[in-house]
């Protein structure tokens, strides 16, 4: 299928989610918080009609995106719910340590982005590259190609490498979907509780959004999502401006805040920060779409320039958010805004709407992964209505975990039979109800999956791809980054789970 040249483009947070045997199906995803790349570039392998498959074998054509558009897309794809959680990240690390740490982590993540880009560039022209020359190269494809063209003793790991990357991409993407659900429910509670003059359970607010989320999930065509995403982009941008208006008003003395929190809290900081920086999947599709791909890399290239702005925004939001609200800062900075001021309420409403509509783009990805496995087992005449049923089931499953809390567990043997990996998703989205604390949820998602995608995998691919060029210093640096990511994964996951158990008074 040829690439569509109308209307929409990359919606991001990571990279190709599916690459099956015999066909490479690519989806670019991400925690955009509504800041999806829509309208200016193209999407690989996306059809504009309802009957055609949305994703197919992507073919590369000459990119059409200008440097300026690529710069904007890079900003959009890295600014979402993660930036709103940065103040709590700084709380878990301290004003000084956290702010410096954001910069250091940003440098490490950008360096890993460059490593992935370098690997893709070399592997694309490698004579033993297993993919066609005109096929778009995604994260999982780079992983497979690296091992297939690498040392002979690593070739047998090629398929496993691709599947491992895809697994973490899937887990990460579902984690983002869960964060959006918790975010919407938490902000609705913040907005509506004062109006009802009583405290209503967050589970009730989550249930209130069930039907709207189902209706939103029924949108089958990305073209219809383009205007929705554009509105979400505008709301997000306006909200961030108004948020800084509150953060910079009546700023306390920095001496009133901790410069360093505690070693025990530091892993929570890592999880949240790495969640925010998990935009590595943007690198390859954005570069592939540029008119001048050479302008993407380099010391003053689009990647370094754009990510410098992102790091500055993250640091400023985290620094001033914690400085303003101290130990009372919450998992989303919008939850700290006053509930009795029209401007603050309007910010909460705009952010909630933006994130709500962004769920449609995030939901599009897992639907495209799971539906083909179910579709192949359904008679053709029933596929159209059953797709809507399946979409509804996926959304409803995000709310089923509320029953688990009271001891009831539902098993969905039909879906389990169709696609065993669906259980991974089910356990992940179950946490959306079990963990209504958005800050802890973001930290858990970041530690579990984002750490591998953003930090661990790129240096591994660099070692395999550039085996003959590994100087002792370069090899040491790669191993240090891998160790840093694994330590963050282990400690961040442990600390997040422990904090969640404490939150539920289970320990």
pLDDT tens per residue, range 141-164: 899 989 998 888 888 998 999 888
Whose tokens are 């990279």? That residue is 15
CA gap 383, 391 in Å, rounded: 12
Rg (C-alpha) for the chain, rounded Å, is: 22
393 occurs within a structural domain: yes
| Position 103 in a domain | yes
Contact 229, 411 (CB under 8 A): no
Per the structure block, which two tokens stand in for 253? 């003395």
Q: What share of the chain is helix, strand, coil (3-state, %, to 5)?
A: 70, 0, 30
Domain contains 102? yes
Bridge partners of 264, per DSSP, are none
- Are 86 and 102 in contact by the 8 Å Cβ rule? The answer is yes
Dist CA 284 CA 299 (whole Å): 18
pLDDT digits (tens, 9 = 90+) for 327-364: 999 888 888 998 888 999 999 999 898 888 878 777 77
Q: Is the pLDDT of residue 1 over 60?
A: no
- Average pLDDT in the chain: 76
Report the pLDDT averaged over residues 26-32: 50
Lowest mean pLDDT among 28-37, 137-146, 161-170, 456-465: 28-37
Domain-embedded: residue 32:
no
13: three-class secondary structure by DSSP:
strand
Residue 1 maps to a domain: no
> Which one-letter DSSP state was computed for residue 2?
P
Specify if 57 maps to a domain.
no
- The structural domain count of the chain equals 1
d(CA 62, CA 56): 18
DSSP state of 452: I
Taking the CB of residue 382, how many other CB atoms lie within 10 A of it?
A: 11
pLDDT tens for each residue of 12-25: 443 333 333 333 44
CA 172 to chain centre: 6
What residue numbers bound the domain in which 131 lies?
67-503
Number of continuous H segments (helices) and E segments (strands) in the chain: 20, 0
**Domain assignment present for 335:** yes
The values of phi and psi at residue 419, to 5°, are: -150, 90
Structure pTM? 0.75
Distance between CA atoms of residues 404 and 77, nearest Å: 34
Q: Is 54 part of a structural domain of the chain?
A: no
What digits encode the pLDDT tens for the residues 286-321? 888 888 888 888 888 999 999 999 999 999 999 999
């Amino acid at each position: 299928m040829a690439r569509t040249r109308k209307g929409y483009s990359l919606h991001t947070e990571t990279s190709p989610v599916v690459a099956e045997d015999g066909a490479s199906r690519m989806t670019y995803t991400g925690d955009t918080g509504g800041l999806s790349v829509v309208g200016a570039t193209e999407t690989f392998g996306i059809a504009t009609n309802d009957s055609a498959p949305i994703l197919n074998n992507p073919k590369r054509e000459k990119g059409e995106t200008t440097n300026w558009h690529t710069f904007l897309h890079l900003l959009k794809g890295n600014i979402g719910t993660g930036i709103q959680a940065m103040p709590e990240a700084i709380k878990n690390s301290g004003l000084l340590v956290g702010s410096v740490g954001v910069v250091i982590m940003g440098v490490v993540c950008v360096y890993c982005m460059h490593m992935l880009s370098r690997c893709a560039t070399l592997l694309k022209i490698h004579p033993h590259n297993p993919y066609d020359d005109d096929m778009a190269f995604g994260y999982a494809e780079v992983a497979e190609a690296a091992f297939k063209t690498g040392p002979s003793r690593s070739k047998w790991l090629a398929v496993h490498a691709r599947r491992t990357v895809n697994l973490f991409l899937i887990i990460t993407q579902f984690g983002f979907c869960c964060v959006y659900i918790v975010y919407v429910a938490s902000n609705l509670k913040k907005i509506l509780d004062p109006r009802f003059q009583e405290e209503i359970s967050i589970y009730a607010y989550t249930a209130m959004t069930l039907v709207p989320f189902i209706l939103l999930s029924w949108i089958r065509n990305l073209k219809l999502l383009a205007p929705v995403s554009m509105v979400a982009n505008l709301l997000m941008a306006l909200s961030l401006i108004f948020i800084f208006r509150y953060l910079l008003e009546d700023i306390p003395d920095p001496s009133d805040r901790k410069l360093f929190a505690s070693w025990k809290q530091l892993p929570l900081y890592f999880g949240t920060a790495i969640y925010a920086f998990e935009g590595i999947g943007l690198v390859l599709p954005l570069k592939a779409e540029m008119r001048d791909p050479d302008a993407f890399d380099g010391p003053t290239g689009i990647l370094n320039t754009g990510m410098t702005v992102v790091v500055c925004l993250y640091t400023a939001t985290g620094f001033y958010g914690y400085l303003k609200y101290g130990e009372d800062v919450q998992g989303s900075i919008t939850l700290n805004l006053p509930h009795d001021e029209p401007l603050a309420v309007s910010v909460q409403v705009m952010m909630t709407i933006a994130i709500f509509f962004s769920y449609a783009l995030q939901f599009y990805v897992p639907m495209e992964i799971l539906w083909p496995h179910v579709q192949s087992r359904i008679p053709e005449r029933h596929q159209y209505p059953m797709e809507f049923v399946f979409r509804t089931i996926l959304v409803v499953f995000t709310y089923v975990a509320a029953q688990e809390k009271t001891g009831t567990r539902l098993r969905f043997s039909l879906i389990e039979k169709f696609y065993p990996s669906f259980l991974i998703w089910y356990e992940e989205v179950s946490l959306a109800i079990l963990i209504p604390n958005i800050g802890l949820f973001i930290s858990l998602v970041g530690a579990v999956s984002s750490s591998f995608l953003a930090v661990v995998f790129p240096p591994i691919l660099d070692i395999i791809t550039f085996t003959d060029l590994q100087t002792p210093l370069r090899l040491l640096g790669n191993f240090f980054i891998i160790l840093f990511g694994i330590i963050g994964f282990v400690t961040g996951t442990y600390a997040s789970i422990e904090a969640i158990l404490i939150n539920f008074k289970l320990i």
